[in-house]
Structure 1
Amino acid sequence: MTTAPVVVVGFDDSPAAAAALAWAADWARVTGGSVRALHALAPRLVAPPNWCIGDAGRAEHHGRDLDEPSQRERITALFAATAPAPRTTLELTGAPAGERLVAASASADLLVIGTRGRRGAARLLEGSTSHYCLSRARCPVVAVPAG
């Protein structure tokens, strides 16, 4: 007897993530699988009082915001509003999104990520979770652009 396939999908408040979740839900319906949506709660970046642009490495992440109800409630409500397929769960985590998605890909049949199409300086400054996942995932990856 084979087990039902599992798809992991990155989820945040972006149009690309909504498109990725919709794609993953459709895939789960067709295959009889389940969807595990992961959202990385963003810690607050706190810089020392004498911080300047050249001191980016000195800024600290504080976990206080990870337990802030407003952030959790907003993402949970957004997830519920997308009307995901049955057997779809949302997991909130404090780890960086790319790292958490890659770790989850080790036990998944498929990883689905949204792409925002950042290029140049925006990608350099903000990073690219989709690029991180595409180059490190331990299962096949589907990259879904914003609709």
Structure 2
Amino acid sequence: MRKKGTEAVARVVVGVTGTPGSLTALHGAAAEARVRGAELVAVLAWQSPGGELGSRNGWGPTVLTECRAAAADRLREALDVAFGVVRPRVTVGGLTVRGTPGAVLVDVARDPEDLLVVGTGSRAALRRLVHPSVARYCLAHASCPVLAVPPSPLQAELTAVRRRNRLRMPLVLREPTG
């Protein structure tokens, strides 16, 4: 909990990337914040081009400033896409932090009274090899409760449609069951 004046303010911290899975987590976090009467803190972690090794190759301060500005724009865009003109009925704060997503989220949500919300995303075998799971990192390292939000059921259908389109397979229309 953070102090605001003399009263304690509970926080729900959520990782945001702008992907459909993170937007689902953002909606879940907003619902949790409403129930708890807490502040919603949307966090976008960003890295310099090339990651940590790239930051040592002589990128000037202007490149880092541009990356920071691009991250802030991406966070604003994700919040606009998630909530549109109808804002959630909670206080929303945004934070962009340079670093790896799991470590950044665990650091921001370091108070035991915080709630950390992360999306689980799709975990195809190849993707697991290339990108480690942020949700697993947070579950293993966070000092506060962690809520892992699974992807929307519509996300699986969207992925299947994209796969069919990519492979140029015909769309099979079925009668609804039930």
Q: TM > 0.5 between the two?
A: yes
Displacement after TM superposition at 1:110 (Å)? 0.7
Q: 1:45 to 1:26 in 2, by over 3 A?
A: same
Rg comparison, structure with higher value: 2
Distance 2:48 2:7 in 1: 39
Is it true that 1:67 corresponds to 2:103 in the alignment? no
Q: Which amino acid aligns with 2:102?
A: G
**1:133 aligned partner:** 138
Length, aligned pairs only:
135
Q: 1:145 to 1:65 in 2, by over 3 A?
A: farther
Distance 2:46 2:65 in 1: 6
Checking the alignment, whether the CA contact within 8 Å between 1:42 and 1:66 is kept in structure 2 is: no
Q: 1:74 to 1:100 in 2, by over 3 A?
A: closer
Indicate the SS of the match to 1:112: strand
Displacement after TM superposition at 1:101 (Å)? 0.6
Checking the alignment, whether the CA contact within 8 Å between 1:36 and 1:90 is kept in structure 2 is: yes
Moved more, 59-68 or 117-126: 59-68
After TM superposition, the runs of 4+ consecutive aligned structure 1 residues lying more than 6 A away are: none
**1:51-90 correspondence runs (5 A):** 60-62=53-55, 64=63, 67-68=66-67, 69-83=69-83, 84-85=87-88, 86-90=90-94
Deviations 1:15-67 (CA, angstroms, capped at 9, x unpaired): 11101110111111122111111101232118xxxxxxxxxxxx822362563
Indicate the SS of the match to 2:119: strand
Distance 1:134 1:66 in 2: 31
What value does the CA root-mean-square deviation take over the aligned residues?
Answer: 2.3
Moved more, 100-109 or 124-133: 100-109
Checking the alignment, whether the CA contact within 8 Å between 2:44 and 2:71 is kept in structure 1 is: no
**1:86-101 correspondence runs (5 A):** 86-101=90-105
**1:104 aligned partner:** 108
Q: Which runs of 5+ in 2 are unaligned?
A: 1-5, 153-178
1:10 counterpart (9, 15, 22):
15
Displacement after TM superposition at 1:71 (Å)? 4.3
Structure of higher RCO (CA pairs closer than 8 Å, 6+ residues apart): 1
Checking the alignment, whether the CA contact within 8 Å between 1:66 and 1:94 is kept in structure 2 is: no
- Tell me which protein shows more strand as a share of its residues: 1
Displacement after TM superposition at 1:122 (Å)? 1.7
> TM-score w.r.t. structure 1 length?
0.79
Q: Which runs of 5+ in 1 are unaligned?
A: 47-58
Q: Which amino acid aligns with 2:53?
A: E
